[in-house]
């Protein structure tokens, strides 16, 4: 039941019948790219674990080949959140960067809601920062490891920060489908 779900994605991995899937956002992202709007990619810092070594330095070029006009690391938002978190450390002690943790606290441990550090996640702050930097009409696509980010982007308090979320698995499938190989891409910032 959805009321019990914290959107962590564990059920997808653990289902012995492989009957569960994470809803793909590829069509939504393709529509954004086809819309004529400027589309920025906010890439989670963990990309370097998935696209390791020289492949990490080639990922920005691969994203541009897919149609993204701007590529930036979500770590830029994480820096701002870290500074804000340190200012608020006496108001809470549970980090809010992980939406599955926030969902768990809200649904199963509401007595600890006041312990959540009152800052948005790096994804949300980075999306807002990119729209401020590039123009409010810019679409932002977050790309990261976690399916819970899809639901986080849809929360009313985060409205407008991020337009779509792709997992690294979705991105890799898309790159394969488009026959874009990181080893063939130029290194880029």
What pLDDT shows up at residue 119?
Answer: 87
Is the confidence at residue 171, as pLDDT, over 90? yes
Rounded Cα gap, residues 158 and 181, in angstroms? 34
Q: What is the chain written as a DSSP string?
A: -TTT----SHHHHH-TT----PPP-HHHHHHHHHTTS-EEEEE-TTHHHHS-THHHHHHHHHHHHHT-SEEEETHHHHHHHHHHHHHTTTT--B--S-HHHHHHHHHH-GGGGGGB-SS--HHHHHHHHHHHHH-TT-EEEEEES-THHHHHHHSGGGTTT-SEEEEHHHHHHHHHHTT--GGGSPP--
Per the model's pLDDT, the better-predicted residue between 15 and 27 turns out to be: 27
What pLDDT shows up at residue 135?
Answer: 96
Q: Are strands 70-73 and 164-167 parallel, antiparallel or unpaired?
A: unpaired
pLDDT per residue over 143-165, tens digit each? 999 989 999 999 999 999 999 99
What pLDDT shows up at residue 92?
Answer: 65
pLDDT per residue over 27-73, tens digit each? 999 999 999 999 999 999 999 999 988 899 999 999 999 999 999 99
- The mean pLDDT of 77-81, rounded to a whole number, is 87
Across all residues in the chain, what is the average pLDDT?
A: 91
Q: What predicted TM-score, i.e. pTM, was given to this entire model?
A: 0.91
With a CB cutoff of 8 Å and minimum separation 6, the contacts of 181 are 175
- CA-based R_g, the chain, Å: 17
What pLDDT shows up at residue 134?
Answer: 97
Is the confidence at residue 1, as pLDDT, over 60? no
Integer angstrom CA distances of residue 114 from 7, 35, 54, 95, 109: 21, 41, 43, 12, 11
What pLDDT shows up at residue 56?
Answer: 93
What pLDDT shows up at residue 79?
Answer: 87
Confidence of residue 91 (pLDDT cuts 50, 70, 90): low
* Nearest CA among 67, 36, 40 for reference residue 133: 40
Q: Are strands 39-43 and 139-144 parallel, antiparallel or unpaired?
A: parallel
């Amino acid at each position: 039941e959805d009321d019990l779900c914290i959107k962590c994605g564990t059920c997808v991995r653990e289902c012995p019948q492989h009957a569960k899937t994470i809803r793909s956002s590829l069509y939504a992202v393709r529509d954004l790219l086809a819309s004529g709007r400027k589309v920025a990619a906010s890439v989670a810092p963990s990309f370097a674990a998935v696209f390791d070594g020289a492949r990490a330095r080639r990922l920005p070029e691969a994203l541009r080949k897919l149609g993204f006009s701007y590529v930036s690391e979500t770590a830029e938002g994480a820096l701002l959140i870290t500074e804000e978190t340190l200012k608020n450390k006496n108001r809470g002690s549970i980090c809010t960067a992980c939406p599955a943790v926030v969902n768990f606290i809200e649904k199963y441990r509401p007595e600890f809601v006041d312990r959540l550090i009152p800052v948005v996640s790096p994804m949300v702050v980075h999306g807002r920062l990119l729209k401020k930097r590039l123009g409010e009409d810019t679409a932002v696509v977050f790309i990261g490891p976690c399916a819970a980010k899809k639901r986080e982007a849809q929360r009313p308090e985060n409205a407008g920060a991020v337009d779509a979320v792709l997992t690294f698995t979705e991105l890799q499938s898309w790159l394969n489908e488009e026959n874009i190989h990181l080893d063939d891409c130029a290194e880029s910032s």
